[in-house]
């Protein structure tokens, strides 16, 4: 797990927490903020996963070329 993946998961959790509090307090604005944070976190985690997989593929290709 790289930094983007970790930060994305953290942001996603922050969004879920905001939505939970919003549901308890009946605050639609906070719920919307939670939706935005959760979506941003999922996006960042997905970008991080893609970066990691590309890096792993490049590393495997480099090792194959050296053989």
Mean pLDDT for 2-31 is: 97
What does the pLDDT look like over 29-48, one tens digit per residue?
A: 999 999 999 999 999 999 99
| H/E run at residue 45 | helix 28-66
State the helix-helix crossing angle for 28-66 and 3-25, rounded to 10 degrees: 160
Q: Report DSSP state, residue 67.
A: -
The model carries a pTM of 0.85
Q: Report DSSP state, residue 1.
A: -
Query: What share of the chain has pLDDT > 90, as a percent?
Result: 97
Domain regions of the chain by residue span = 3-66
């Amino acid at each position: 797990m790289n930094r983007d993946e970790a930060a994305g998961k953290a942001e996603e959790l922050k969004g879920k927490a905001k939505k939970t509090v919003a549901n308890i307090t009946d605050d639609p604005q906070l719920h919307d903020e939670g939706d935005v944070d959760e979506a941003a976190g999922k996006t960042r985690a997905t970008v991080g996963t893609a970066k990691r997989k590309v890096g792993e593929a490049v590393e495997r290709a480099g090792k194959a070329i050296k053989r």
